[in-house]
Chain A
Amino acid sequence: MGVHRRRIIWWLVVLVGLLLLARATAAPLPGVGFLQRLVYEAMAPLQRGTAVAAGWIADASGAFTAYRELQQENEALQTQIRELLAENSVMTEYRLENLRLRQMLGFKEAAKGNYDLLAAKVVARSPSAWNLSLVLDRGKADGVSPDQAVITAEGLVGRTGTVGENTAEVRLLTDPEVAVAAMVQVSRVPGVVQGRQDGSGRLEMIHLPHDAPVRPQQTVVSSGWGGVFPPGLRIGYIIEVVPEPNGLMEKAIIQPFADLNRLEEVFVVRR
């Protein structure tokens, strides 16, 4: 028998022996425990050292991963904040709209009997820097016609101009061409209120006798003369009384009650 063949047989015996041994040791054998403990003891120092080193590496990589996760989380939170801010802005808008509508509703209830009010939404403004006119989402179809008073719960806004089927133009009080027959509420001194041409957003009550009892802080309301504006609509309050150039008359500078630069919902007074 050659060396090569003997070697093959030897290896075959070894392999079969290993197979049988593996089968026999499916359950731990008594003698094996001792050998196992020996290997364990031999490996223990290295394993402890390696475990510590591997732990450091894992911690370091964990810190890196944590940093990356924090970065991602931060980005996600930033996005969420932006979304929430946008949402919050919409909610604030709804809340304010709700407040305005409640106020308008209250005013409408209070004015019931005196005026026939039609609620309208401002859908456009004049492109002019002075904001002299608005466009409402109501028109002839809703009973709106030219020269009707337009008000808010705070006070008079202006009057309707051109009226379409479903839209209506509103000429604001600040437009010098819009004149309102008015009077000082307390003293009943009559006058004409019109827009100032200085772009201040204020009004002036002209042609007041120089000795008329007109004082700052007094309220000015519509008098109802002229037919366009019903009587008793609040217009504004006097902030200053100044003499006119001829010296015989004086005029009152008026701050309108309604904020004419921030109108979103208004009422059209149909009668």
Chain B
Amino acid sequence: MRLLGLVVLLVLGLGLETTVSLYLPAVPDLLLVAVALEALFYGPRQGAVIGLLYGLIEDIYLGRYIGLNALVKTLVGYGIGWGENRIYRDNLLVPVLVLVTATLAANLLWLLVALLVGWSLPPAGVIWRQVLWQAGLNSVAALVVYPAAWRAAGRP
């Protein structure tokens, strides 16, 4: 059941991400939202595994630099999961702050790895604008799904 939920989340996330972005000023990373919340409720190992799988599927979808998103999401999933027992999750600011941090970290990592694998990057201004927009969109998405994630994780 949980596995089915994760698959649905993957398909929905990727599907929405690739279509809704047509109408938004930036591309939200809904898979990152899923990975971050998974890590927040289930810990670093679960976060890293889901990050690896979601990232890999995303990479396959993109068709090039396979492993780039997988690497980034694995590390972010692990990092957020590491804070699982250190964060009071019963505050709505938590998903917002977690996603802002996760988005900034993921993009920073992505830029570093992208440089390592030879990706030619756009100008810094464009990157910053995209990252800030994405942080906002991801936070909003996290706020929307946070109550459901809370209930799914069996929290009171």
Interface residues of A (CB under 8 A from B): 11, 14-15, 17-23, 25-29, 32-33, 35-36, 38-40, 42-43, 46-47, 50-51, 54, 57-58
CB < 8 Å neighbour of B116 from A23, A35, A58: A23
Chain B residue with Cβ nearest A53: B19
| A43 to B22 CA separation, bound complex (whole angstroms) | 16
Interface 0/1 of B24-58, CB less than 8 Å to A: 00000000000000000000000010001000010
| A32 to B57 CA separation, bound complex (whole angstroms) | 11
> Are A26 and B23 in contact (CB-based, < 8 A)?
no
Q: Which of B61-69, B123-131, B145-153 interfaces with chain A?
A: B61-69
> Are A46 and B60 in contact (CB-based, < 8 A)?
no
> Are B61 and A18 in contact (CB-based, < 8 A)?
no
> Are A46 and B64 in contact (CB-based, < 8 A)?
no
Known interface pairs A26-B119, A50-B16; 4 further A-B residue pairs with C-beta atoms within 8 A, sorted by A's residue number:
A19-B117, A23-B117, A40-B61, A50-B15
| Interface flag for B138 (CB, 8 Å) | no
What residues of chain A lie closer than 8 Å to B78, measured between beta carbons?
11
Q: Report the count of interface residues on B (CB-CB < 8 A).
A: 32
Interface residues of B (CB under 8 A from A): 11-12, 14-16, 18-20, 22-23, 48, 52, 57, 59-61, 63-68, 70-71, 74-75, 78, 113, 116-119
| A43 to B68 CA separation, bound complex (whole angstroms) | 21
> Are B23 and A54 in contact (CB-based, < 8 A)?
yes
> What's the least CB distance linking B99 to chain A, in Å?
21
Chain B residue with Cβ nearest A43: B15
What residues of chain A lie closer than 8 Å to B19, measured between beta carbons?
47, 50-51, 54
> Are A18 and B67 in contact (CB-based, < 8 A)?
yes
Chain A residue with Cβ nearest B7: A42
> Are B71 and A15 in contact (CB-based, < 8 A)?
yes
> What's the least CB distance linking A59 to chain B, in Å?
10
What residues of chain B lie closer than 8 Å to A22, measured between beta carbons?
59, 65-68, 71, 113, 117
> What's the least CB distance linking B33 to chain A, in Å?
16
Chain B contact surface mostly: helix
Q: List 20 A-B contacts (CB under 8 A).
A: A11-B74, A15-B75, A18-B67, A18-B70, A19-B71, A19-B116, A21-B67, A22-B65, A22-B66, A22-B113, A23-B116, A25-B64, A26-B119, A33-B63, A39-B14, A40-B61, A43-B18, A47-B15, A47-B18, A47-B19
> What's the least CB distance linking A228 to chain B, in Å?
84
> Are A54 and B67 in contact (CB-based, < 8 A)?
no
> What's the least CB distance linking B75 to chain A, in Å?
7
Beyond A47-B15, A51-B22, A58-B23, whether A39 also contacts B66 by CB under 8 A is no
| A259 to B11 CA separation, bound complex (whole angstroms) | 87
| A55 to B60 CA separation, bound complex (whole angstroms) | 26
What residues of chain A lie closer than 8 Å to B15, measured between beta carbons?
43, 46-47, 50
> What's the least CB distance linking B43 to chain A, in Å?
13
> What's the least CB distance linking A37 to chain B, in Å?
10
What residues of chain B lie closer than 8 Å to A28, measured between beta carbons?
63-64
Beyond A17-B67, A18-B74, A50-B16, whether A39 also contacts B60 by CB under 8 A is yes
> Are A15 and B74 in contact (CB-based, < 8 A)?
yes
CB < 8 Å neighbour of A43 from B20, B61, B71, B74: B61
What residues of chain B lie closer than 8 Å to A57, measured between beta carbons?
23
| A39 to B117 CA separation, bound complex (whole angstroms) | 24
> Are B66 and A21 in contact (CB-based, < 8 A)?
yes
| A58 to B25 CA separation, bound complex (whole angstroms) | 13
**A-B residue pairs, 7 tightest by C-beta:** A18-B67, A46-B15, A21-B67, A22-B67, A50-B19, A18-B71, A22-B68
> Are B61 and A23 in contact (CB-based, < 8 A)?
no
